[in-house]
Amino acid sequence: MTRIDPISRALHRQAGQHGPVILMYHAVIPGQTVPAWPWAVSMQQFRDQLDFLATEGYQTPTMAELAAAPTKTWQGRTAVITFDDGYADNLAACEELQRRGMRATWFIVAGSVGQPPRWPDDGRPAGRLLNADELREMQENGMEIGSHTVNHVRLTELDDVSLMQELAHSKAMLEDMLDNPVGSFAYPYGDWDARCVQAAQQAGYAAACTTEAGWALRDQTPYQLRRLTIFNTDTPGRFTRKLSFGSHDVRWRDLTRYALRRLRGI
């Protein structure tokens, strides 16, 4: 990643002081062209971001490891890399991680494993999702497999019984498939409320991710872990500023406003 502007690079020197961040990826499309779907990044962009994290000394534990350890034990720069939905193109992304000795956590939709997604299409890339053999192989290579429900539904819209089914069945299905405990969860569409948090806990998960931006552990509960969404519009400078500020609002005009507020003491 050679195109980081000097100001973003200087701002990043302080990164890591506020604790871990969790990055959220979806599809990773081969090549260099910027994909049409905002949540898909190109493989070139993904590689550049991994190289930056590696060069800057980020450790990349899994979600399970982050949730298991108290905040104070995360010294230095920590970025948990997560993927939602489990697109088949993530297999190549997984190889890039392995090549750098990095790890990540995948949130898998238990009812669509190895098939095209069954939930409504919003312009995402066509194709199937990761299958059971691929998920097992990823797990053997040190990656964590978590749950993203059975049907990729909005949990706040479900009655109590269906809510518990989405949480508990997906966990059991994945555990059977992987022959391993599944302790991490991500709320589809970032849709959650206090009832969902309680249900995730009751279903036996150790941790759950939202899509709210911020430092991962800011809410001091493992069931509302914050994540930074990585968009394909993130330039190298913008990516580093997200890491530095734990925020999506890192356009220069946002940062200028922030700096002025700080100067005025408000």
Binding-site ranges for Zn ion (CB under 5 A) = 84-85, 188
Q: Specify the residue, 48 or 85, whose C-beta has the smaller distance to Zn ion.
A: 85
Structure tokens belonging to residue 184: 């991490």
Q: Specify the residue, 85 or 234, whose C-beta has the smaller distance to Zn ion.
A: 85
Closest residue to Zn ion using C-beta atoms: 84
Question: DSSP string of 63-130?
Answer: HHHHHHS-GGG--S-BEEEEEEE-BTTHHHHHHHHHHTT---EEEE-GGGTTS---SPPSSPPPSPBP
Q: Specify the residue, 177 or 209, whose C-beta has the smaller distance to Zn ion.
A: 209
Q: Where are the alpha helices (DSSP H) in the chain?
A: 6-11, 43-55, 63-68, 90-99, 132-140, 160-178, 194-202, 236-245, 252-264
Residue 87 beta carbon to Zn ion: minimum distance, rounded to whole angstroms: 10
Q: Which of 129, 148, 137, 128 is nearest to 177 (CA)?
A: 137
Residue 148 beta carbon to Zn ion: minimum distance, rounded to whole angstroms: 5
Q: Which amino acid is at 146?
A: G
Q: Specify the residue, 146 or 236, whose C-beta has the smaller distance to Zn ion.
A: 146
Q: Specify the residue, 84 or 234, whose C-beta has the smaller distance to Zn ion.
A: 84
Residue 154 beta carbon to Zn ion: minimum distance, rounded to whole angstroms: 11
Residue 191 beta carbon to Zn ion: minimum distance, rounded to whole angstroms: 10
Residue 107 beta carbon to Zn ion: minimum distance, rounded to whole angstroms: 7
Q: Which amino acid is at 152?
A: H
